[in-house]
Amino acid sequence: MSLFTHVHAETEMTALTLDSQWQVDLPAASVTFATAYGNFTYPIQLIGSIAHAAGTWMWGWQEDNIERFPTQALRLAQAVLDKGLAVGIPELATPVITLSETPSLVLRLAAQTIGQVSHTLTVDAGRGLSLVFAVDMGQLRPLSSHDLVEVAMQATDLGVTDNHLDALECYARRNGFDYLVTSHDPLTAMVGSPAGGIEIESDEGGRFIGLRERTLQVQRQAS
Q: Tens digits of per-residue pLDDT, 68-126? A: 899 999 999 999 999 999 999 999 999 999 999 999 999 999 999 999 898 999 999 99
Q: Which residue type, as a one-letter code, is found at position 191?
A: V
**pLDDT given for residue 44 in this prediction:** 95
DSSP 102: S
**pLDDT given for residue 216 in this prediction:** 54
Separation CA 26–CA 64 (nearest Å): 15
**pLDDT given for residue 223 in this prediction:** 46
Band of the pLDDT at 50, cuts 50, 70, 90? Answer: very high
Q: Which helix (H) or strand (E) segment is 7 a member of?
A: helix 3-18
**pLDDT given for residue 220 in this prediction:** 46
**pLDDT given for residue 215 in this prediction:** 67
Band of the pLDDT at 20, cuts 50, 70, 90? Answer: confident
Of 119, 138, 136, 217, the C-alpha closest to 177 is: 217
Whether cis (ω within 30° of 0) applies to the bond prior to 194 is: no
User: Torsion-angle region of residue 176: left (phi > 0), alpha (psi -120 to 50) or beta?
Assistant: left
157 exposure class (CB count in 10 Å sphere: 0-12, 13-18, 19+): exposed
Q: Tens digits of per-residue pLDDT, 130-182? A: 999 999 998 888 888 998 999 999 999 988 888 999 999 988 888 888 898 98
Angle at 62 between CA 56 and CA 64, to 5 degrees: 100
CA 17 from chain center: how many Å?
16
pTM: 0.82
